[in-house]
Amino acid sequence: MRPKLSRESERQRDLFLRDLSKMVPKSHPLRLLSDRINWDELEGKFLPLYSPNNGRPGISIRTLIGLQLLKYIENESDEKAVKRLSENAPWQYFCGKRYYECKKCCDATTLVKFRQKIGEEGLNILLAETVRIGKSEKIFKSKDLDKIHVDTTVQEKNITYPHDVKHLVKVHGKLLKALLKKKISVKQTYRFIMKKHYRWYFKWSKCNRYKVANGYKRKMCTNLGRLVRDVKRRISGDDVLEAYFSEILRLCEHFILQARSKCENSEKLYSPHEQHVQCIAKGKVNKKYEYGNKVSFVTTDRTNFIVGCASHQGRPHDSKTLRSAVQSVERITGILPSGCCAVDLGYRGHEIRRKELFVIHPRLTKLKPFQRKLVRRRSKSESVISFVKRRCRMGVNYLKGIVGDSVNALSAACAYNAKLIMRVLEARAVQS
Distance CA 305, CA 329 (A): 12
Query: Are both 249 and 380 inside the same structural domain?
Result: no
3-state secondary structure of 310: strand
| Residues 347, 200 within the same domain | no
Per-residue pLDDT at 32: 96
Residues 321 and 232 in one domain: no
Is the CB of residue 413 less than 8 Å from the CB of residue 127?
yes
Does residue 218 sit in the same domain as residue 242?
A: yes
Please state, in angstroms and rounded to a whole number, the distance separating the CA atoms of residues 159 and 168: 15
pLDDT more than 70, % of the chain: 98
Considering the domain architecture, whether residues 415 and 286 belong to the same structural domain is answered as: yes
Q: Residue 17's pLDDT is what?
A: 83
Are residues 41 and 96 both part of a single domain?
Answer: yes
Give yes or no for a contact between 62 and 43, defined as CB atoms under 8 angstroms apart: yes
Whether 123 is in a domain gets the answer: no
User: Which pLDDT does position 397 carry in this prediction?
Assistant: 97
Residues 319 and 342 in one domain: yes
* Closest alpha carbon to 130 in 415, 383, 427: 415
pLDDT digits (tens, 9 = 90+) for 51-97: 888 888 889 999 999 999 999 999 999 999 999 999 999 999 999 99
| Same domain, yes or no: 256 and 236 | yes
Q: What is the pLDDT along the chain (432 residues), one digit of tens a residue?
A: 788 776 555 555 666 788 899 999 999 999 999 999 999 999 999 999 998 888 888 899 999 999 999 999 999 999 999 999 999 999 999 999 999 998 898 999 999 999 999 999 999 999 999 999 999 999 999 999 999 999 999 999 999 999 999 999 999 999 999 999 999 999 999 999 999 999 999 999 999 999 999 999 999 999 999 999 999 999 999 999 999 999 999 999 999 999 998 887 778 999 999 999 999 987 777 788 999 999 999 999 999 999 999 999 999 999 999 999 999 999 999 999 989 999 999 999 898 988 889 999 988 888 899 999 999 999 999 999 999 999 999 999 999 999 999 999 999 999 999 999 999 999 999 987
- What is d(CA 428, CA 33) in angstroms, rounded to the nearest whole number? 13
Tell me: do 239 and 374 sit in the same domain. Answer: no
| pLDDT tens track for 263-299 | 877 789 999 999 999 999 877 777 889 999 999 999 9
User: Domain end: 267, 301, 320, which one?
Assistant: 267
**Across the chain, how many H-helices and E-strands are there?**
15, 7
Query: What local confidence, expressed as pLDDT, does residue 14 receive?
Result: 67
Domain enclosing residue 144, as ranges: 139-160+277-431
Q: Do residues 127 and 37 touch, judged by C-beta distance below 8 A?
A: no
Residues ≥6 apart with Cβ < 8 Å to 236: 242
Shared-domain flag, residues 249 and 346: no
Domain-ending residue, one of 267, 288, 306: 267
Give the containing element (helix H, strand E) for 62: helix 61-73
Contacts of 337 (CB under 8 A, 6+ apart): 145, 146, 148, 298, 326, 329, 330, 357
Q: Is residue 44 part of a domain?
A: yes
At 9 the pLDDT is: 54
Question: For residues 71 and 105, is the Cβ–Cβ distance under 8 A?
Answer: no
DSSP H or E segment with residue 147: strand 147-157
Q: Which of 339, 294, 334, 362 is nearest to 148 (CA)?
A: 339
DSSP state at residue 240: H
Any domain includes 2: no
CATH of the domain at 312: 3.30.420
Residue 35 counted as domain residue: yes
pLDDT in tens, 118-139: 999 999 999 999 999 999 999 9
Side chain identity at 293, as an amino acid letter? N
Shared-domain flag, residues 238 and 354: no
Distance CA 252, CA 260 (A): 12
- Residue 385 counted as domain residue: yes
CB 81, CB 63: distance < 8 Å: no
CA-CA distance, 205 to 178, in Å (whole number)? Answer: 31
Distances, alpha carbon 80 to alpha carbons 44, 213, 367, 415, in Å: 28, 43, 51, 17
- For residue 185, being part of any structural domain is answered with yes
Residue 8 forms part of a structural domain: no
**389 lies in a domain?**
yes
Give the ranges where 99-209 is alpha helix by DSSP (H): 108-136, 164-182, 191-206
Beta bridge partners of 281: 289
Distance CA 261, CA 268 (A): 10
Using the 3D structure, point to which of 267, 289, 306 is the last residue of a domain.
Answer: 267
Contacts of 241 (CB under 8 A, 6+ apart): 182, 184, 235
- Report how many domains make up the chain: 3
Cβ 349 vs Cβ 363: under 8 Å = no
Residue 220 and residue 170 share a domain: yes
pLDDT for 418: 98
Q: Tell me, what's the pLDDT at 213? A: 96
